[in-house]
């Protein structure tokens, strides 16, 4: 059986997250796309070989040849169109960050429960084998009692009012676009929810160009996260330290383009393997497994609500305008 995917939003991320991994499979087909500008949708479809262009988002959701809706809009549009697709009887893969805030995330998750449809958050890094191995190491107790952690994701993003990441009305900002990753990986690896102790942001017209936060996890684990759209150089690192050892993941976001994972346990350092399919291929594998009943989903639901709640708390602590 072929899974037919409809794209809400003629986005750049959809080409990487959906179109590219689908192209290498016989059991997945991207059948339709819709955009606010129909001309843009037609050009996008022609460029990427998508056979159909829907007149608008509602029309795409209603199509009989769409089995799964991928919501690749700016965060401001996630809740409305995710809920609309769920209520139309379609499962949804929604891009990160899940929503504008925890209240929207809660409404989305409730809609999935009410309709009985699958709703997965597209935290692509989470599905890679690197994360499976890191989680197994932490859960084995090899690091001992966790004590400290930090994670960072920074990418220079030129300021452009047409770029959603620099637009407050589209729920842009460094924390939403980049910082959601370091927050999510620490929550995932530590396996608990943090208290936000403090946060500092660099704001530009209501958008955080950079953000850092100090967190406290249960059991006395001290943690820091940071993100920036205005750094001197890109970087993505996550580190956990325990009473018996230390785990470091360099480029946890996309191991397929270069990654190094080292674990130092009682003074002995080992390099963990980083092989596996791309994060996006692994994500699509997971979606298919969940829809077929072969696996339980590992993003979305309570996890998505909790990540947005922590983001809300960081913004409050930073005094976002």
Give the catalytic positions in this structure. 96
End-to-end, the C-alpha distance of the chain in Å comes to 49
User: How many CB atoms sit inside 10 A of residue 144's CB?
Assistant: 13
Q: Are 238 and 185 in contact (CB under 8 A)?
A: yes
- CA torsion 132-173-60-306 (nearest 10°) is 50
Give SS3 for 177.
helix
β-strand partners of 214: 198, 224
Alpha-carbon distances of 74 from 11, 34, 208, 275, 296, rounded to whole Å: 9, 14, 16, 31, 27
Q: Work out the widest C-alpha separation in the chain, in whole angstroms.
A: 61
- CA separation, residue 70 to residues 111, 112, 113, 237, 240 (Å): 16, 15, 18, 28, 33
């Amino acid at each position: 059986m072929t899974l037919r995917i409809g794209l809400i939003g003629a986005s750049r991320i959809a080409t990487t997250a959906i179109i590219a991994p689908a192209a290498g499979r016989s059991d997945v087909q991207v059948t339709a796309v819709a955009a606010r500008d129909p001309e843009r949708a037609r050009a996008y479809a022609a460029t990427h070989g998508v056979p159909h262009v829907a007149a608008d988002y509602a029309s795409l959701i209603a199509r009989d040849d769409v089995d799964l809706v991928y919501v690749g809009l700016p965060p401001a549009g996630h809740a409305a169109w995710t809920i609309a697709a769920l209520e139309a009887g379609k499962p949804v893969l929604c891009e990160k960050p899940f929503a504008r805030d925890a209240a929207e995330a809660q409404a989305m998750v409730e809609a999935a429960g009410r309709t009985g449809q699958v709703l997965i958050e597209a935290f692509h890094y989470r599905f890679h084998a690197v994360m499976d191995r890191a989680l197994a190491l932490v859960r084995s107790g090899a690091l001992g009692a966790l004590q400290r952690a930090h994670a960072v994701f920074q990418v220079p993003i030129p300021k452009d009012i047409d770029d959603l990441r620099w637009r407050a009305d589209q729920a842009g900002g460094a924390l939403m676009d980049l910082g959601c990753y370091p927050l999510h990986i620490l929550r995932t690896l530590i396996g608990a929810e943090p208290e936000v102790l403090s946060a500092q942001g660099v704001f530009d017209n209501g958008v955080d160009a950079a953000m850092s936060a100090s967190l406290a996890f249960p059991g006395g684990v001290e943690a820091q996260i940071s993100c920036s759209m205005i750094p001197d150089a890109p970087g993505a690192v996550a580190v956990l330290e325990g009473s018996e050892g230390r785990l470091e993941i360099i480029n946890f976001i996309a191991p397929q383009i270069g990654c190094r994972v080292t674990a130092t346990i009682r003074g002995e350092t080992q390099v963990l393997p980083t092989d596996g399919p791309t994060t996006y291929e692994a994500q699509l594998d997971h979606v298919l497994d969940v829809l077929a009943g072969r696996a339980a989903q590992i993003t979305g639901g309570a996890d998505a609500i909790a990540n947005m709640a922590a983001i809300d708390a960081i913004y409050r602590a930073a005094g976002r305008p």
